[in-house]
Amino acid sequence: NAGVTQTPKFRVLKTGQSMTLLCAQDMNHEYMYWYRQDPGMGLRLIHYSVGEGTTAKGEVPDGYNVSRLKKQNFLLGLESAAPSQTSVYFCASSYSSLAGVNEQFFGPGTRLTVL
């Protein structure tokens, strides 16, 4: 099992460029998440998905779009990158349960720099 993988690991963009970050999980999890990590601010949820074909906004969704066309993949898009989007991006997944909140499994992260 690869767990949660993210592509690419590093990327440098110029202001106004677009890109897509890919997250894939092989654990058959229903739930998937995109976070950004910035110094002193912990992890903040950008968007999440509770199943294939569904997406929802998190705490900081502006400037990002997402898609979940397949259960195992969750894509994060930046249509017009801005320097404020320089960050480390983490994808995570977890299985659904009516009995409570389950462990989230994280990918290794993507370090994005916007010049």
Per CB under 8 A, residues contacting other proteins are 4, 31, 33, 40-45, 48-50, 56, 58, 90, 92, 94, 96-97, 100-109
Nearest to other proteins of 49, 87 (CB atom): 49
The SS3 assignment for 83 reads helix
Nearest to other proteins of 19, 43 (CB atom): 43
Indicate the Cα dihedral angle 7, 13, 19, 20, nearest 10°.
20
Nearest to other proteins of 37, 73 (CB atom): 37
Q: How many CB atoms lie within 10 A of CB 45?
A: 16
CB of 29 to other proteins, least distance (A): 10
Residue 61 dihedral angles phi and psi, to the nearest 5°: -85, -15
